[in-house]
Chain A
């Protein structure tokens, strides 16, 4: 009985260590090294930022399908401004602004108009993607238009000379966003209220929580997160294309769901979202190193996400 409870509570975590052990055995010389893990942290930094800010809306039982195309749109907006000769800070500010406006628009549709988040953000997903193609003329904006100061950000980091390692700025930025989201959700009255809305929307309204305003603002936060991820991506590949963010949405939602299997009452917690992101990142990294075909990789990752969520919902039902 006790063992069953432990598995129920830490099942996903145990699975995570299982995966690490599996890769360590199969990739003895390359997997369990500091260099590889720093590499992973950079690979997952964009996904992490989107997943952390996705957690903010998922705390209220909402979700945002438009984050991927928002990431594309924000990257394109910045790149187009760069190619027109504007300074870097204007490009970045404009991209973040687009993120806020897009997020507020999502929030407006969901909270003020009252459209289901699924439908509303499915609509804006298509809209944002369309805007990205429209602004870029459908083409990728390449290196010579992107200022080198902008793209060098993703390639540099803090050197730790004693270990001969470099911690990438992208990973540090993701950690910073993690801290900010954690602070908002766990340490402020704002976060308390978001969790109350997720616990029972009607009850929290009658208990004096301004549900509409809070939902609106939470979607704006998620929009900004997506825009930041878009900028990070553009910096990393030193170019922008209108489909660059398309894979982010599904993986971000999957990461939050993986995290939810670990929390006490199945509610999203941003630190558990981090674990969800790590699981996805480690799987991707390890399977790639083992030369597993990318299509098979997708099947496996999808299967593992379903397995974790199914396991936790079955054990919770028994409870």
Chain B
């Protein structure tokens, strides 16, 4: 395969256009980087190539011949290979067995497995990539993540009849150390020399500049740039990723920030994050930003007491706060809206009432142990109204509500204790535009009442539109705190991509 062309690729999810009219050309022997913010359409494009999503419209040409992908099997038969962060490695099998997962085992006399041949073929495949330090008889559990990735790549070379032609790497270095990444880049180079097409998706700007030949940038499902990497700079790429100024479309902040400090986090470490330092005043919104998986989730785990502190101190409402668990945090009037609504926040088969009152049973009860049904109904009705929930009655099971309304239940639960500090982890993920605006208005309402807010969002426009200060995380460590009114979104994004020693 010399050339792979995607023409007029369009894919929409109900009314939302994930990709519109995207055309890209990939050439053999070239590493083509695909960039864009979260939600720009990168993942959708990859899933179309893998045959997992069916495009609304697309013409695909391989060496000028039209081809179709209807299923993941067809995608595999065309020689497309996908390397994700999450490797489908079976850790209790050997390297060689893992490499043969998708291939028939060679046999002696048509009956007994020919292990010698298996070991030989797999070590040959590794050698072709220039990898000699992995013993193919070893259990995969004993390999590092980086080496497991190399095994996965090499397993694509086992098949001898058709040579794999396209390798798609989806954020491959997210879980790798620097040395492991270097090894991976060498292997990618070897693949390139063998005439493969490499499609490389990553958020790490330095990597992209180092190893790619061409860059394509997507923004809101539209291709905004394709050029040779040598002609591009970091600044130019970032500018085209962000595009317009982002802080439009957000309700205006009207509340005043109070002088009283709600929480003061002083040089806190846990087993997962380091050097966290911030203060939030009453009515202030602190944004958390950074590349994905830089420690955002772990900040919330620290504040809720899921991960215990190993160093540092926190004072909350002028008192020493040592987080020991979510139960204690809720009791102290810290409310939490977790990231994954269905998994971490809701009991889907249970009622609006149960879901709203769960963290507050002790406060609602009579004599500390009797459920107080009257009060439960009252609180549920009040707060459902406050968040403008659309529902039939409070005993309705929550799976019958739309995503946006489910999220409003999570909010009404968080508000029901009149919190002093509200923790929001991706509060508008998977929520429609109308509900989003309602949620933003709620946040503003809360700041007026003197509640401090921590808001993590992978949607940069949300951070720019809602926050007073922005804490930037990098590699599970606090990198900087920026005052929002002094900067624009390009500066913030540029901070994500700066390396620490610059």
Quick one: which of A166-210 are within 8 Å of B by CB? 187-193, 195-196, 199-200, 202-210
B393 to chain A, nearest CB (A): 13
Once the chains are docked, how many angstroms separate the CA of A207 from the CA of B326? 6
Which residue on B lies nearest to A188, using beta carbons?
Answer: B369
A189/B350 contact (C-beta < 8 A), A206-B304, A206-B338, A208-B327 known: no
| Interface 1/0 per residue, A208-227 and B, CB below 8 Å | 11100000000000000000
Judge if B88 is at the interface, Cβ distance under 8 Å: no
Interface residue tally for chain A (C-beta within 8 Å): 24
A195 contacts B344, CB within 8 Å?
no
| Interface 1/0 per residue, A102-120 and B, CB below 8 Å | 0000000000000000000
A199 contacts B347, CB within 8 Å?
yes
A190 contacts B350, CB within 8 Å?
no
B346 contacts A203, CB within 8 Å?
yes
Judge if A251 is at the interface, Cβ distance under 8 Å: no
B330 contacts A208, CB within 8 Å?
yes
Judge if B43 is at the interface, Cβ distance under 8 Å: no
A62 to chain B, nearest CB (A): 16
B358 contacts A196, CB within 8 Å?
yes
A200 contacts B371, CB within 8 Å?
no
Stretch at the interface among B31-39, B55-63, B359-367, B463-471: B359-367
Quick one: which of B208-233 are within 8 Å of A by CB? none
| Interface 1/0 per residue, B356-400 and A, CB below 8 Å | 011101101100111100000000000000000000000001000
A265/B397 contact (C-beta < 8 A), A204-B347, A206-B344 known: yes
Q: Please, which residues of chain A bring their CB within 8 A of the CB of B330?
A: 207-208
Judge if B413 is at the interface, Cβ distance under 8 Å: yes
Q: Which of A188, A199, A209 contacts B371 (CB 8 A)?
A: A188
A86 to chain B, nearest CB (A): 34
Q: Please, which residues of chain A bring their CB within 8 A of the CB of B159?
A: none
Judge if A64 is at the interface, Cβ distance under 8 Å: no
A208 contacts B326, CB within 8 Å?
yes
Judge if A267 is at the interface, Cβ distance under 8 Å: yes
Q: Please, which residues of chain A bring their CB within 8 A of the CB of B338?
A: 203, 206
| Interface 1/0 per residue, A260-274 and B, CB below 8 Å | 000011110000000
Q: Please, which residues of chain B bring their CB within 8 A of the CB of A191?
A: 371
Interface residue tally for chain B (C-beta within 8 Å): 33
A228 to chain B, nearest CB (A): 22
Q: Please, which residues of chain B bring their CB within 8 A of the CB of A210?
A: 325, 327
Judge if B259 is at the interface, Cβ distance under 8 Å: no
B361 contacts A193, CB within 8 Å?
yes
A208 contacts B359, CB within 8 Å?
yes
Judge if B309 is at the interface, Cβ distance under 8 Å: no
Q: Please, which residues of chain B bring their CB within 8 A of the CB of A192?
A: 354, 357-358, 361, 371
Once the chains are docked, how many angstroms separate the CA of A105 from the CA of B394? 38
A209 contacts B345, CB within 8 Å?
no
Judge if B193 is at the interface, Cβ distance under 8 Å: no
A196/B354 contact (C-beta < 8 A), A189-B370, A191-B371, A208-B329 known: yes
Q: Please, which residues of chain B bring their CB within 8 A of the CB of A193?
A: 358, 361
Quick one: which of A213-251 are within 8 Å of B by CB? none
B237 to chain A, nearest CB (A): 38
Q: Please, which residues of chain B bring their CB within 8 A of the CB of A264?
A: 397
A267/B349 contact (C-beta < 8 A), A207-B358, A208-B327 known: yes
Q: Please, which residues of chain B bring their CB within 8 A of the CB of A188?
A: 369-371
Once the chains are docked, how many angstroms separate the CA of A240 from the CA of B368? 41
Once the chains are docked, how many angstroms separate the CA of A189 from the CA of B375? 13
B15 to chain A, nearest CB (A): 27
Judge if B200 is at the interface, Cβ distance under 8 Å: no
B371 contacts A195, CB within 8 Å?
no
A202 contacts B343, CB within 8 Å?
yes
Judge if B336 is at the interface, Cβ distance under 8 Å: yes
A206 contacts B336, CB within 8 Å?
yes
B344 contacts A202, CB within 8 Å?
yes
A189 contacts B347, CB within 8 Å?
no
A sample of 12 cross-chain residue pairs with beta-carbon separation below 8 angstroms, ordered by A number, consists of: A187-B371, A189-B362, A192-B354, A195-B347, A196-B354, A204-B358, A206-B304, A207-B326, A207-B330, A207-B336, A208-B328, A209-B327
Which residues of B pack against A, CB within 8 Å?
304, 306, 325-331, 336, 338, 343-350, 354, 357-359, 361-362, 364-365, 368-371, 397, 413
Which residues of A pack against B, CB within 8 Å?
187-193, 195-196, 199-200, 202-210, 264-267
Given contacts A206-B326, A206-B338, 19 further A-B contacts (CB under 8 A): A187-B371, A190-B369, A196-B350, A196-B354, A199-B348, A199-B350, A200-B347, A202-B343, A205-B326, A206-B306, A206-B344, A206-B345, A208-B358, A208-B359, A209-B359, A210-B325, A210-B327, A265-B350, A266-B349
Query: Which 6 residue pairs are nearest across A and B when measured between Cβ atoms?
Result: A199-B347, A208-B330, A189-B361, A265-B349, A208-B327, A208-B359
